[in-house]
Chain A
Amino acid sequence: DAGVIQSPRHEVTEMGQEVTLRCKPISGHDYLFWYRQTMMRGLELLIYFNNNVPIDDSGMPEDRFSAKMPNASFSTLKIQPSEPRDSAVYFCASSFTNGNTIYFGEGSWLTVV
């Protein structure tokens, strides 16, 4: 079975540019999570969805970040405009209803220069 699929795997962009990260969750999972990983702060939950509806976006750092889930098989995380401090690995993850066993994608490694 395919796991959580993220794209791009790696992106290098210039400060001020728009960045769009994409995620396809595991089929049948009703929860989708976006995490950010940095050396300083570890794994941080940015936002999560249940049945395509955003449930908690309290981890989204600021208005430059936005996330959407137009259908059960696709989600995007957008940063506009990007800044060097946004450089991190962004993970998408999905799970069934109780969410205890969440499955992570391989991550999108973002560098903003």
Chain B
Amino acid sequence: GQQLNQSPQSMFIQEGEDVSMNCTSSSIFNTWLWYKQDPGEGPVLLIALYKAGELTSNGRLTAQFGITRKDSFLNISASIPSDVGIYFCAGPAPQGGSEKLVFGKGTKLTVNP
């Protein structure tokens, strides 16, 4: 099936540092979504991107829809302990309807106070 490749798999950073992670695919996506999963909870949508080149912010988070439409990036500025969790990229499965999402395997973020 369609795969979204996320990197890095995990990150260990100090509070206050900036974070960058990305997601790539061999297929073109028309929508990129970024979710965060807190420990013991379900994923929650952070940012949705609908247009190639689009740059969208949500507080300290900024995400970009790559111009090739095969990648997306998520940046977190001035990290804080509550940023800990797993960050997933997702998009509509190319072979399915727009409602069928595929997810990357996630980037696990640890923030040391």
Contacts and interface: CB of A to CB of B under 8 A. Distances in A.
Contacts of B66: none
Chain A interface size, as a band, is 20 to 34
A98 B101 CA distance: 11
Nearest to B6: A42
Interface in A70-113: 91, 93, 95, 97-107
Interface string A24-46: 00000001000000000011010
Given A100-B31, A100-B101, A104-B42, 12 more contacts: A31-B99, A42-B106, A45-B100, A45-B102, A48-B100, A56-B96, A56-B100, A95-B99, A99-B97, A99-B100, A101-B45, A104-B43
11 contacts: A43-B103, A45-B101, A50-B99, A91-B42, A99-B97, A99-B100, A100-B33, A100-B48, A102-B45, A102-B99, A104-B43
A10 to B, nearest CB: 10
B98 A98 contact: yes
Nearest to B104: A42
B35 to A, nearest CB: 8
A98 B45 contact: no
Contacts, number: 54
A45 B105 CA distance: 13
Interface string B5-39: 00000000000000000000000000101000000
Contacts of B97: 55, 99
A43 B31 contact: no
Contacts of A102: 45, 99, 101
B88 interface: yes
Contacts of A31: 99
B90 to A, nearest CB: 8
Nearest to B106: A42
